[in-house]
Amino acid sequence: MPCRSPLPRPLIGVVGLIALAPFPGGTRLAAQDSAHVVVVATTDVHGRAMHWDYETDREAPWGLTRAATAIDSLRRLYPDRVVLVDAGDLIQGNPFAAYFAIVEPVDPHPIVDALNALGYDAAALGNHEFNFGVDVLTRALAGATYAIVSGNVYGLPRDSVAYQRVVVVERGGVRVGIAGFTTPGVMVWDRANVRGRVLVRPIVPEVAPSLARLSEERAELKVAVVHSGLGGGSSYDTAGVGEENVAVRLAVLPDRPHLVVVGHSHRRIADSVINGVHFVQPEAWARSLAVAHVSLVRENTPRAGPGPWRVTRIRGEQVPLAEVPPHPGVVRRLEQAHERVRVWAGSALGTVDEEWNARYARAEDTPVVDFVNEIQRRVSGAQLSATAAFNTQAVFAPGAVRLRDVAALYPYENTLKAVRIDGATLARFLEKSATYYYQFPGDGRIVNESIPGYNFDIVSGVSYAIDLSRAPGSRIVQLTYEGRLIEPTDTFTLALNNYRQGGGGGYDMLPGLPVVYDSDVSIRDLLVDAIRRAGTLRPADYFKESWRIIPPEAAVRAREAFEPRR
């Protein structure tokens, strides 16, 4: 009779490779002088508790429900050896998250409850945890059965650490210490939500006290869970705030962790070693798990007996989740919440008679982006408006426009502001946006992939061309308002979201501008209300061509960059 594998068939190839790979001491795990700990991590889940895309209403290759199956298999392979952590950005990012934050808050919060079901040991806070305000976050975390570790998040007015600095868990006799940290960009992006209640301090100065606490608690394996990119520049003015992406700095401190789980940057790090410190980062949206195998030994002395464990080797792996079947038990636990969100996301708001598509919205002016800008302008009373085409897959198809279509078009919890801006600063703003493209002709590339698409802003209310034959910083030409060339001293009011107004994305020319309109209402909610009031959306009510790419050959290449891949 053939021997049946205890693993679900799709996991035989992924988890099995990890299980059977050579590992120091693998044949001596039961010996007293060797141990094996398996650290498993997720990050930037952004509401993907279920294996479902609520914006298209279909099954998706991600989700904690898929992760649960892989985690269960790892625990079967390595009983009492698995430590499970998350590096933040959990309760915001898709319709499922938005529904349980603003429509129907329930206890326990379904996403937090999913982590409970999976048996997480600890989670750090991400910056997006604060998007709905401190009260929503506090209520959500009240139901957590795992530790919240963020040693640089302070509660005001007492100015004391708001969550645990560290937690220590024991696996296979090894004391595993976990410290957590959160990017201080919260103080820029969500300062209105945290003002007077929370202070997120710079990460690096807070690492030493947290790791010292781990030493005091006799942690033998030290793990830092950091919602901060590995390195690189910050997307805001760091003066008085602290740097955004500093995880790599933990490798050069006198007291270093053995392992760092990185979050925030939505990148993938299988196993990077810097100054002896291992860095791992799973893919966002629970598309993969980061798995770090840690080998430890200890010296036995005749008089003193067993000594402390000492890390001898770490090996990082990634477990992709796209083909992993969802865990039936976790699916059942979330099923009712899932169905409520599907019904909500599918509710019809209005109609369109023709397709409004965002596919080419970063290459040419389109009605669907002008719709966002026009609503921002009308609500704020501003002369001009700026927004990005956040999702080039967003589309309003002929027929009903549903809430999920608006969520695809505008996925963030941004609020609306307006500032007073002069002509010179407006030109700088547009020049910054234009760096999204390379100079043309060049080496064949046209889109600068190092710049996220959400940092390419489109301004309505003026007319301008982006001349890609020119070097960055001198590309904005024919900048006019109502047919007249804009002078540096001209002034306008400009509607934009709170992230951009705070300098997010490296737009350091914006934060100091006078604010003339400030609302705490979500821009997505403003769009929903506008569609309901209009009933039927017509391009003529919103679309007015305001920008283009030149020369024509560059415009063609830019459009080609967004053609469907075959």
State the DSSP string of 129-176. GGTT-HHHHHHHHTT-SSEEB-TTEEETTTTEESSBSEEEEEETTEEE
| Mean pLDDT score, 402-425 | 97
3-state secondary structure of 565: coil
Q: Is the dihedral of CA 21, 22, 27, 32 positive or negative?
A: negative
| Mean pLDDT score, 222-232 | 97
CA atoms within 13 A on the CB side of 541: 12
Residue 4 confidence (pLDDT) above 60: no
Q: Are 299 and 312 in contact (CB under 8 A)?
A: no
Residue 278's pLDDT band (cuts 50, 70, 90): very high
Q: CB-based contacts of 335: which residues, under 8 Å, 6+ apart? A: none
Please give the CATH number for the structural domain made up of 348-560: 3.90.780.10
Specify the DSSP element, H or E, that contains 95.
helix 95-98
- Write down the pLDDT at residue 136: 97
Categorise residue 264: left if φ over 0, alpha if ψ from -120 to 50, beta otherwise.
left
| Mean pLDDT score, 304-309 | 81
**Domain boundaries in the chain?**
36-341, 348-560
Residue 6's pLDDT band (cuts 50, 70, 90): very low
3-state secondary structure of 421: strand
Residue 86's pLDDT band (cuts 50, 70, 90): very high
Please give the CATH number for the structural domain made up of 36-341: 3.60.21.10
Give the Cα separation of 392 and 359 in Å (integer).
4
- Write down the pLDDT at residue 30: 38
- Write down the pLDDT at residue 564: 86
Q: Which tens digits make up the pLDDT trace of 492-549? A: 999 999 999 999 999 999 999 999 999 989 999 999 999 999 999 999 999 999 999 9
Residue 444's pLDDT band (cuts 50, 70, 90): confident
Which of 503, 520, 511 is CA-nearest to residue 193? 520
Residue 9 confidence (pLDDT) above 70: no
Residue 566's pLDDT band (cuts 50, 70, 90): low
Q: CB-based contacts of 4: which residues, under 8 Å, 6+ apart? A: none
Same fold, 36-341 and 348-560: no
| 477, burial (CB in 10 Å: exposed 0-12, middle 13-18, buried 19+) | exposed
State the DSSP string of 174-218. EEEEEEEEE-TTHHHHTHHHHTTTEEE--SHHHHHHHHHHHHHTT
- Write down the pLDDT at residue 300: 76
Residue 121's pLDDT band (cuts 50, 70, 90): very high
Specify the DSSP element, H or E, that contains 531.
helix 523-534
Give the Cα separation of 174 and 219 in Å (integer).
8
Residue 23's pLDDT band (cuts 50, 70, 90): very low
Average pLDDT, the chain: 93
| Mean pLDDT score, 48-59 | 98
Pairing of strands 147-148, 122-123: parallel
Q: Are 394 and 408 in contact (CB under 8 A)?
A: yes
- Write down the pLDDT at residue 243: 96
- Write down the pLDDT at residue 79: 97
- 518: tokens are 């400030």
Q: Are 64 and 337 in contact (CB under 8 A)?
A: no
Q: CB-based contacts of 6: which residues, under 8 Å, 6+ apart? A: 76
- 515: tokens are 């604010």
- 21: tokens are 């790979």
* Dihedral in degrees, nearest 10, Cα atoms 214, 216, 220, 221: 10
- 251: tokens are 């490798």
Give the Cα separation of 489 and 475 in Å (integer).
19
3-state secondary structure of 558: helix
